[in-house]
């Protein structure tokens, strides 16, 4: 993989990650020529703490006018072509990462700090992650690990969160296959809860909570969907969503940066495979909306209790129905499931290629 660091017309950073020739071998070099006339990004976010719950809420009013479901001809993640200049000033590319033009987290004179990046997985607008070549899936994993390391070193960053939103039902504003990376200047509520539970478990037992859960799932096997030499995919015993699967490494690692080559190789196959099974979950559908969320250990305090895992889930509960978070879930945080984890696991096992 070869990296080329450059800038967009408004000064935002852009990085090309190449895994194909002639660029990966150095026979050719990337040179971005962003000829657009863009104003400097002014994005001042503010974080306020809810005094009732202690949860941080980020206010990013500049995002109200962000690009929303453009046509293919106007897609900002497609390569630049005659008459259509995009966020990626090249006629083709492998993987590209750039600073979000409408970031949820940005210092910009506000009180938030942090950073938001977009990761475009491919130049092909109609592709989906599950259909990418395994070599490209591995490149994306390496890119996420590389950006995790870089963003973790920024002053004030407390956690790096990599994720993919797929499908208009999820709320995506761009349909081109892409992910995002948030470098939080605070610990999100879910991370705080995970750390508190892990810390309490360690104080009682001296062991890792996530490791104990993984070992228990592998022993019983009831909810295991797939297991390899380095990774296991299983449906959690208290799955909240109609489709949910966790992909966890067998080795205790804090984040993507800590994975060795063999673990990354198998992950490229497993991750791509799990997304493919999710897409085939319902007969008659070939694209299911999902969120793929990489939970990583925080940068500072509590890092010793964090453990990497990927949570893949969908709010689709039937081919023509979505799970809406109504009164009990939205107001009280008390989840009610219309299925069981065992049924989810059984269906995902049936979908093995």
pLDDT at 41 (0 to 100) = 84
Mean pLDDT of 65-89: 94
Check 178, 201, 246, 305 and give the catalytic one: 178
> Is 338's pLDDT higher than 60?
yes
3-class SS at 308? coil
Average pLDDT of every residue of the chain: 95
Task: Say how far apart CA 191 and CA 300 lie, in whole Å.
Answer: 13
pLDDT at 229 (0 to 100) = 98
3-class SS at 288? coil
Each residue of 56-72: pLDDT tens digit?
999 999 898 889 999 99
Each residue of 127-140: pLDDT tens digit?
999 999 999 999 99
Three-class DSSP labels, 118-179? EEECCCCCCCCHHHCCHHHHHHHHHHHHHHHHHHHCCCCCCEEEEEEEECCCCCCCCCCCEE
Two structure tokens written together for 93:
């590319």
Before 22, cis peptide (omega within 30)? yes
Q: Which residue has the tokens 């761009």?
A: 174
Q: Where in the chain is the domain with CATH 3.30.428.10?
A: 190-350
pLDDT at 108 (0 to 100) = 58
3-class SS at 81? strand
**Confidence at 276, pLDDT banded by 50, 70, 90:** very high
CATH fold for the domain made of 190-350:
HIT family, subunit A (3.30.428)
> Is 199's pLDDT higher than 90?
yes
Please measure the distance between the N-terminal and C-terminal CA atoms of the chain and give it in whole angstroms.
28
Each residue of 291-330: pLDDT tens digit?
999 999 999 999 999 999 999 999 999 999 999 999 999 9
pLDDT at 42 (0 to 100) = 81
* 178 annotated active-site: yes
> Is 110's pLDDT higher than 80?
no
**Confidence at 27, pLDDT banded by 50, 70, 90:** very high
Q: Which CATH number fits domain 2-136+172-183: 3.10.20, 3.40.50, 3.30.428, 3.40.190?
A: 3.30.428
pLDDT at 112 (0 to 100) = 61
> Is 109's pLDDT higher than 60?
no
3-class SS at 197? helix
Strands (DSSP E) contained in the chain are: 2-7, 13-18, 46-49, 56-59, 95-99, 115-120, 159-166, 178-184, 224-227, 231-234, 243-249, 290-295, 309-314, 316-318, 321-322
> Is 203's pLDDT higher than 80?
yes
């Amino acid at each position: 993989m070869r990296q080329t660091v450059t800038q967009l017309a408004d000064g935002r950073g852009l990085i090309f990650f190449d895994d194909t020739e002639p660029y990966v071998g150095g026979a050719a070099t990337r040179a971005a020529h962003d000829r657009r006339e863009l104003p400097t990004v002014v994005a001042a976010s503010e974080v306020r703490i809810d005094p009732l719950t202690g949860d941080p809420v980020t206010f990013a009013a500049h995002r109200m006018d962000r690009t929303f479901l453009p046509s293919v001809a106007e897609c900002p993640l497609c390569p630049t072509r005659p008459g259509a200049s995009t966020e990626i000033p090249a006629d083709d590319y492998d993987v590209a990462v750039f600073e979000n033009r409408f970031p949820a987290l940005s210092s910009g004179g506000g009180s938030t700090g942090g950073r938001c990046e977009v990761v475009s997985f491919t130049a092909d607008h109609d592709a989906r992650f599950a259909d990418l070549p395994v070599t490209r899936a591995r490149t994306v994993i390496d890119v996420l690990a590389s950006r995790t390391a870089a963003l973790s070193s920024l002053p004030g960053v407390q956690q790096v969160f990599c994720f993919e939103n797929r499908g208009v039902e999820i709320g995506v504003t761009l349909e081109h296959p892409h992910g995002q990376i948030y470098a939080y200047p605070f610990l999100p509520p879910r991370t705080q809860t995970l750390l508190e539970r892990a810390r309490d478990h360690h104080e009682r037992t001296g062991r890792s909570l996530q490791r104990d859960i993984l070992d228990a799932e592998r022993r019983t096997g009831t909810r295991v969907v797939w297991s390899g030499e380095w990774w296991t995919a299983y449906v959690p015993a208290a799955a909240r969503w109609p489709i949910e699967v966790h992909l966890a490494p067998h080795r205790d690692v804090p984040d993507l940066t800590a994975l060795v080559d063999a673990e990354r190789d198998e992950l490229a196959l497993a991750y791509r495979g799990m997304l493919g099974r999710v897409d085939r979950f319902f007969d008659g559908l070939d694209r299911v909306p999902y969120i793929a969320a990489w939970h990583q250990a925080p940068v500072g305090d509590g890092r010793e209790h964090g453990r990497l895992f990927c949570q893949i889930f969908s709010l689709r509960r039937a081919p023509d129905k979505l799970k809406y978070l109504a009164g009990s879930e939205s107001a009280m945080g008390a989840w009610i499931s219309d299925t069981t984890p065992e049924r989810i696991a059984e269906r995902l096992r049936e979908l093995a290629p």
